[in-house]
Amino acid sequence: MYKNHTVGVVIPAYNESKLIGKVIETVPDYVDSIIVVDDCSPDDTSNIVKKYQSNMSGRLHLVEHSVNQGVGGAAVVTALLVAVAITINLLFSQKNYHIHQKRKQLAAATMISLFVI
């Protein structure tokens, strides 16, 4: 959280087994969600990310493509859809959040995901 705002970082990855660990380690603590999109890497990128997940208290998310989609597919489309899903989860987990506000947020998130598809 930074200045009362939720912060997310998207890390597109393809054959990044040598550097992905360092990248994850250097993400600042105020970042709430780290989304790594492995774009069908033939190397060990996904396995390295999975090792980091156990120490990240649920803030590190891994999406693995089964087919390489290029940086546009990996970083933009997939990460945005995951971010919308995480946002919806966060909204519905807040106990003191008024239901009318949730509906507005959910509608906005749905419009974003429909626009991307």
* Position 3 in a domain: no
Query: Across-strand partners of 12?
Result: 37
Give the strand pairing for 8-13 and 33-38.
parallel
Find the domain containing 42 and state its range. Answer: 8-116
* Position 1 in a domain: no
What average pLDDT values come out for the chain (117 residues) when binned by 10 residues?
A: 80 94 95 90 96 91 88 72 67 51 51 39
Contact (CB, 8 A) for 31 and 57? no
Look up the pTM and report it.
Answer: 0.70
- pLDDT at residue 4, rounded to an integer: 78
Q: What is the DSSP string of 17-86?
A: TTTHHHHHHTS-TT--EEEEEE-S-SSSHHHHHHHHHTTTTT-EEEEE-SS--HHIIIIIIIHHHHHHHH
* Position 80 in a domain: yes
- pLDDT at residue 99, rounded to an integer: 47
Number of domains making up the chain: 1
Give the strand pairing for 8-13 and 60-64.
unpaired
* Position 2 in a domain: no
